Structure 1
Amino acid sequence: MGINRHTETSGIEVVTIDFPPVNAFPAAGWFALADAVREAGRDPETKVVVLRAEGRGFNAGVDIKEIQRNPGHQTLIDHNTGCYAAFGAVYDCEVPVVAAVQGFCLGGGIGLVGNADVIVAADDATFGLPEVERGALGAATHLSRLVPQHLMRTLFFTAGTVTAAQLHHFGSVYKVVPRAELDAAALEVAKNIAAKDGRVIRAAKRALNGIDTQDVHRSYRYEQGFTFELNLAGVADEIRARFDADLASRKAGK
């Protein structure tokens, strides 16, 4: 359980997310993921990193219950700092990152895959940002890398989701496969990359980041400022409390 890293084959490092039941990250999990991706990229033998997850969904974002359990703002600060570190580690990884996505990819999951270099998805994968329903903002920076601008705004305001097939249509998802074939499909892309000269691959990653039209670090940090503002104003606490009450009511069958 947690963040695990292993060498799949020469040049390919696999980082696995495993926080059951829904891969909602504790604050420490974001930092652990950032460390694992950075370490994998720094290894001179690595040519590509595959980011995958165990369980029914790729990522459900932050562990809201952890934030609710701890009074004050420190846990929220830890989560926001951790998300910034993890998203940045994927983007700044010295080699390409291939994300293998199944089931739900929500909130922080969008930050991870939006900063990845290649996305392979299972045919049951859905992507979205429920932030406005949780009293928070963020990762519109990364969603805008997956869909056109007006669709991003619609999805953000409505907390709606899109399917892997829709993202494949936009070209942001490279390949959609049956869930049972997801890991094999991600490794197929990774092996293609790993077959290249590592020196060229690393130079290509730097070059592509260098010509990127969006400064993902600054853009996401700007968004995070509004999340802090909503929390300081008490708005986020009210919304999270309603969310918890609604969830408890649904579980009770009311």
Structure 2
Amino acid sequence: MGISTGNHGDGVAEVVMDVPPVNALPVRGWFDLARAVREAGRDPETRAVVLRAEGRGFNAGVDIKEMQASAGFEALVGANRGCHAAFAAVYECEVPVIAAVHGFCLGGGVGLAGNADIVVAAEDAYFGLPEVERGALGAATHLSRLVPQHLMRAMVYTCRTVTAAELHAFGSVLEVVPADRLRETALAVAVQIAAKDPYVIRRAKESLNGIDPVDVNRSYRFEQGFTFELNLMGAGDRHRDAFVAEGA
């Protein structure tokens, strides 16, 4: 369990999140994920990366229980820095990253999927940002890469979710498949990319990042500043404590 990396011998690396019960990553988990994705991309034998998860869902964001059990701001700062590192690792990975999403993709999960080059999803997948209900902000930068602007704003304000089928209609999810076909579908896309000239694919990734209209790393860091403000004003702890109490 934790973060693991496998190699299929065909130029495809597979990075897997397996952190029960809901893949809400602790601080160390986010940094471990960032390291795994970066190392996979830097390997000259890697031509594409599949990012997926085991368990009930793709990713439920940060481990709020860890944050509330820690004294001071160390866990809060660590989670923010860890998320920033993991999202950047996916975006800046030297080869294309295919996110294979099943079940819930919430908070930090949206940051991962939104920074991926390609998203494939299971029929049960749904996406959302519950941050407002947790006294935090962030990953609207990445949600904006998945849904139109007005829907993104509605999702942030109301914490509503959208289905994989809705995202497929927008074109931000490439394929929606039964859950038992998700992994094979993601790997098939990765193999198709891996069959191309690896030098050309790496330059293609670099060039596409270079023409992005939004600097996702800076934009997300700007959002995080408001999370720190909410925490200083007491809203962060108030909502996180309520969340922990609900699950007790």
- Compute the TM-score of the two structures, normalised by the length of structure 2: 0.99
Distance in 2 (CA, whole Å) between partners of 1:127 and 1:9 is 32
Please name the residue that 2:105 is paired with.
105
Distance in 2 (CA, whole Å) between partners of 1:167 and 1:221 is 25
Please name the residue that 1:154 is paired with.
154
Deviations 1:95-149, CA, capped at 9 Å, x for gaps: 0000000000000000000000000000000000000000110000000000000
Distance in 1 (CA, whole Å) between partners of 2:142 and 2:71 is 29
Superposition pairs for residues 28-107 of structure 1, below 5 Å?
A: 28-107=28-107
Q: Which amino acid in the other structure matches residue 232 of structure 1?
A: L
Distance in 2 (CA, whole Å) between partners of 1:240 and 1:11 is 42
**1:141 and 2:141 correspond:** yes
Shift of 1:85: 0.2
Please name the residue that 2:179 is paired with.
179
Please name the residue that 1:245 is paired with.
245
Please name the residue that 1:251 is paired with.
none
Report the more deviating stretch, 121-130 or 227-236.
227-236
Q: Describe the SS at the equivalent of 1:9.
A: coil
Please name the residue that 1:194 is paired with.
194
Distance in 2 (CA, whole Å) between partners of 1:7 and 1:135 is 39
Please name the residue that 1:12 is paired with.
12
Please name the residue that 1:220 is paired with.
220
Deviations 1:153-200, CA, capped at 9 Å, x for gaps: 000100110000000000000000000000000011001000000000
Deviations 1:209-242, CA, capped at 9 Å, x for gaps: 0001110011000000000111111111111122
Unaligned runs of 5+ residues in structure 2 are: none
- Identity between Structure 1 and Structure 2 (%): 68
Shift of 1:56: 1.2
Q: Which amino acid in the other structure matches residue 209 of structure 1?
A: N
Distance in 2 (CA, whole Å) between partners of 1:45 and 1:147 is 34
Q: Which amino acid in the other structure matches residue 92 of structure 1?
A: E
Distance in 2 (CA, whole Å) between partners of 1:64 and 1:246 is 12
Q: Which amino acid in the other structure matches residue 158 of structure 2?
A: T
Shift of 1:243: 2.2
Deviations 1:62-110, CA, capped at 9 Å, x for gaps: 0000000011101000000000000000000000000000000000000
Matched positions, count: 248
Q: Which amino acid in the other structure matches residue 124 of structure 1?
A: D
Distance in 1 (CA, whole Å) between partners of 2:242 and 2:56 is 26
Please name the residue that 1:209 is paired with.
209
Distance in 2 (CA, whole Å) between partners of 1:128 and 1:88 is 20
Q: Which amino acid in the other structure matches residue 244 of structure 1?
A: V
Q: Which amino acid in the other structure matches residue 24 of structure 2?
A: A
**1:163 and 2:152 correspond:** no
Q: Which amino acid in the other structure matches residue 187 of structure 1?
A: L
Computed over aligned residues only, the root mean square deviation of the Cα atoms, in angstroms, reads 0.7
Distance in 2 (CA, whole Å) between partners of 1:245 and 1:52 is 30
Report the more deviating stretch, 147-156 or 226-235.
226-235
